[in-house]
A and B are shown apart, each in its own frame.
Chain A
């Protein structure tokens, strides 16, 4: 194994129809028009020396190292800023340019420390490489004059130009003495990340990279790491590299955080991760990253990791560490006992969207083939199940229509119920890039998310609707489209079911769906809605991006269908730059749904009652399968409370923190006789467990994740599983103990079985993934290399189907007792239940959940920022700190649920989507008042953090 090094072409690779042919050092090369001379040379393998150029950034032309001579041109133009032209004759190595380069390098080095041997960039320093490349042998200028290198203490008088290291960011340092002011970091922050947190302060010799006159931690920096990656010296450097030194080998793998599914190089020393570096050839992220994937991986080796199997008879007993055999035999015996006593349907499993496709497939197979029921569900139930239902009904597939790259062709972007800069930051950077190029933006969100106004990006319309009124708002937009004659008639006539369209058009044109009529519900001024609708329908390629703010409602499925209606009516599905795009929360939520994790569906979204499909599975698996759909997660919990559901196998999920109405969840768990947890940590759910099977982090896994654009990416093991077994092996062992054999020796064999059983995956194999890097399903004979865009010439279901989307308000309403509406969301630095990110230094950005409340509501209640406030709903109450903020509108409060001690889901209710039971996290009627104590639930939870987590033979400590 060696360190993977991507080729740096120096300037971006251009896409152009026209090709130009030029001669470089006597060799002929043909490149797309617009390509720089530097990149053209690199495509021949000719490295022109450079410092300020890298191919993730537009050419800048400041370092003067890449000078070349071009026949017929005066002087020595910079090859990075000079486009290749037909017939050009370029010489990259002449005495003249060699002399110039050496002179330039000499000047650079005259103001750069010569501590290369002890420098953290030693072994990975472009400045050092360039000194070598130009043959620098002496520096005649010395350090006697003004410099940025020698600390004041080493001189007779203070050196006002010397600045010390800024180590305020937890993951990287800024050492100004090593800086050559090439601007790569500043440009990366602007062009790649789109945050503009860095600048050059001063001018001339005083020029310094600056985070805006403050330290990095206190600045606008979001710690995405793009600047660190762009830096050619040790100026911006990962602290892990400073501590450990340079990595010696690397493997490409896939991030285990959000549904963007970024590809990373895990750069290693032995089995120790030195750093995670975004991979340029990764199609989801194309070399970009966010603070979570880039830096927040330390949880994998956190001391809280449980690496030994444990069992206990009662949840009040201390855990007992046992062998794998004993733990698995105990779990199997319990499941068999429970099924014998309470019936076949009294047990089930929950698969995890954080685990690989292969691991998920095995757990659902275990349920169907070993438990012999269909009681398997997945956490997509509580996030994007309405996406599956709504898009399948209208378009024919349970997935987004585009690849991420498509946003670069969008002209009008409608973001609804999503907060991309916090939740899907790497995709948000792509989106912001397109917006800076001039695409228009409509944001529909109860809260003023960053995207509404962030440097160089501003929404044309912020439709600040009241929580729970998405359907009314989308209907109103569609009403304007239909009544103002903005329907893409040719498109609808050619591609959609016309009878359905006509019924829908009559429905939507009704006055009750007009912006003026719906304003009463949404609170959005009718004129604003009309403006947004005209912009969306008439502004070119219209792309809809949405998140959990759409799905997690009583009408989640209705909203998804309403968006599909709108996209079809405006002709915005089936090509680049358009589409209905779910931004999926978890790294493998798409995959876990694809793998047949739902109680009513086999892999590839085929109903369990479909005889033909079921027979294929029965033949392959050698057992008869249940024809009846099984229980969904909320049903399992209801039946547990009711006493008929007794055993649960939970794969890498923390329902006691993540699912709504925590008290109901824990009551259900406490009523079960055997709860098996497979996880990294003793999470909240594990407090109610009887068997703990240690899981493995993504760094310990071989397998695949499928991201929000249906892209199947490889996950590659870079360290051995800390617990000694891979998760898929544990599932096999459990199945065997239950009497069902699964004979896999490698995850690739599991994928082979998935391919044989699932038409949309028929062409997928590890071999193909190795060759192509990734594929987007459907991947089969018709599309052997996958399908970036869906519904290109026709909809998957045939004709696009317009659905009636009547607005039925939720029963959860603000009233005298609970006058405010709570809506929940995410923050950049933390991820979901926080089990991982809370065990990293990301806590410096967000160490507790806070309640955002509008100044108007705060003043009425005498609440100031920092006050402890009680937040109560009819489900329960918690206390947390308030932050007075105009991001929320009057009448609406907002919080996150990243911290288990806060318990935000104690507040949320049992209401859920009518079609899929996706919980209504986004609307809860609440009251807020000042308090001086934590709630009884929080006090008890803190006690149970200790009492329900004891491990025999270990000192009691709060593991979570």
Chain B
């Protein structure tokens, strides 16, 4: 995570202008802004509304419909934990409890912390549940040690290589 440009209205305006000619430009525009700044600043809403000739309310509706569009700068790290039926069957709820017990992390609570664990429903990795997503790295067969390693900042690729149930900690 990280590496986002700070909010800049001129850059945003250019991004919006570049994409506003597309058919159904709303989502490409929102994605482009989030990729650039890590979130969609509220100051972007009137820019988008003006460029697409829609109301500010409609832009707000689109942003809030999708969980993945952020209205504020993202935390340094986000772990997306699948809590859909298949992962529940494979014990993901115990991971939620473990997070709270050992780390005091409440899932879906956005505070000042630089690590946030968010619920997602199904990453399409049901055969290898419980599953999580960090950045664009999918992690299967998640267990408490692997999750703790992620919380500690281990690189997702390394965590995926840890043997299931490994007690050791992954090198960052």
In the bound complex, do residue A197 and residue B57 qualify as a contact, i.e. CB atoms below 8 Å apart? yes
A458 at interface (Cβ–Cβ under 8 A)? yes
A644 at interface (Cβ–Cβ under 8 A)? no
B122 at interface (Cβ–Cβ under 8 A)? no
A140 at interface (Cβ–Cβ under 8 A)? no
User: Chain B interface: which of A211-219, A356-364, A467-475?
Assistant: A211-219
A48 at interface (Cβ–Cβ under 8 A)? no
B13 at interface (Cβ–Cβ under 8 A)? no
CA distance A290 to B58 in the complex (A): 22
B60 at interface (Cβ–Cβ under 8 A)? yes
A628 at interface (Cβ–Cβ under 8 A)? no
A667 at interface (Cβ–Cβ under 8 A)? no
Nearest residue (CB) in B for A455 is B55
Inter-chain residue pair count (beta carbon < 8 A): 59
Which of these, B53, B58, B59, B64, contacts A453 with CB under 8 Å? Answer: B53
- For B49, B56, B66, the residue with the greatest tally of chain A CB atoms inside 10 Å of its CB is B56
Q: Which residues of B contact A458 (CB under 8 A)?
A: 53
Those of A180-227 within 8 Å (CB) of chain B:
195-203, 210-213, 219-220
A-side interface mostly: loop
B54 at interface (Cβ–Cβ under 8 A)? yes
A606 at interface (Cβ–Cβ under 8 A)? no
A861 at interface (Cβ–Cβ under 8 A)? no
CA distance A455 to B55 in the complex (A): 5
Which of these, A201, A202, A212, contacts B55 with CB under 8 Å? Answer: A212
B168 at interface (Cβ–Cβ under 8 A)? no
- For A196, A212, A454, A457, the residue with the greatest tally of chain B CB atoms inside 10 Å of its CB is A212
A14 at interface (Cβ–Cβ under 8 A)? no
Nearest residue (CB) in A for B61 is A199
Which of these, B42, B57, B64, B67, contacts A196 with CB under 8 Å? Answer: B57
CA distance A219 to B64 in the complex (A): 17
In the bound complex, do residue A455 and residue B65 qualify as a contact, i.e. CB atoms below 8 Å apart? no
Q: Which residues of B contact A195 (CB under 8 A)?
A: 55
Q: How far is the CB of B140 from chain A (nearest CB, A)?
A: 26
Nearest residue (CB) in B for A212 is B57
Which of these, A203, A210, A219, A456, contacts B54 with CB under 8 Å? Answer: A456
Given known A456-B53, A458-B53, contact A196–B58 (CB-CB < 8 A): yes
Q: Which residues of A contact B61 (CB under 8 A)?
A: 199-201, 210, 212
CA distance A212 to B64 in the complex (A): 10
In the bound complex, do residue A220 and residue B55 qualify as a contact, i.e. CB atoms below 8 Å apart? yes
Which of these, B53, B57, B64, B65, contacts A220 with CB under 8 Å? Answer: B57
In the bound complex, do residue A196 and residue B60 qualify as a contact, i.e. CB atoms below 8 Å apart? no
Which of these, A203, A455, A457, contacts B58 with CB under 8 Å? Answer: A455
Q: How far is the CB of B29 from chain A (nearest CB, A)?
A: 16
Q: How far is the CB of B24 from chain A (nearest CB, A)?
A: 14
CA distance A211 to B59 in the complex (A): 11
In the bound complex, do residue A210 and residue B57 qualify as a contact, i.e. CB atoms below 8 Å apart? yes
Residues 67-110 of B, flagged 1 when their CB comes within 8 A of A and 0 if not, give 10000000000000000000000000000000000000000000
Q: Which residues of B contact A200 (CB under 8 A)?
A: 61, 65
Nearest residue (CB) in A for B52 is A455
Nearest residue (CB) in A for B64 is A201
Q: Which residues of B contact A196 (CB under 8 A)?
A: 54-55, 57-58
Those of A437-471 within 8 Å (CB) of chain B:
453-458
In the bound complex, do residue B49 and residue A455 qualify as a contact, i.e. CB atoms below 8 Å apart? yes
In the bound complex, do residue B58 and residue A199 qualify as a contact, i.e. CB atoms below 8 Å apart? yes
Q: How far is the CB of B111 from chain A (nearest CB, A)?
A: 13
CA distance A196 to B66 in the complex (A): 20
Q: Which residues of B contact A455 (CB under 8 A)?
A: 49, 53-55, 58
Q: Which residues of B contact A211 (CB under 8 A)?
A: 57
Q: How far is the CB of A456 from chain B (nearest CB, A)?
A: 6
Q: Which residues of B contact A202 (CB under 8 A)?
A: 64-65
Q: Which residues of B contact A454 (CB under 8 A)?
A: 53
Q: Which residues of B contact A457 (CB under 8 A)?
A: 53
Given known A210-B60, A213-B60, contact A203–B55 (CB-CB < 8 A): no
In the bound complex, do residue B56 and residue A220 qualify as a contact, i.e. CB atoms below 8 Å apart? yes
CA distance A1 to B53 in the complex (A): 47
CA distance A454 to B61 in the complex (A): 18
In the bound complex, do residue A203 and residue B65 qualify as a contact, i.e. CB atoms below 8 Å apart? yes
Q: Can you offer 8 A-B residue contacts whose CB atoms are under 8 A? A: A196-B58, A197-B55, A199-B60, A199-B61, A210-B61, A212-B45, A212-B57, A454-B53
Given A210-B57, A213-B45, A219-B57, 5 other A-B residues pairs in contact with their CB atoms under 8 A? A197-B55, A210-B60, A210-B61, A212-B55, A455-B54
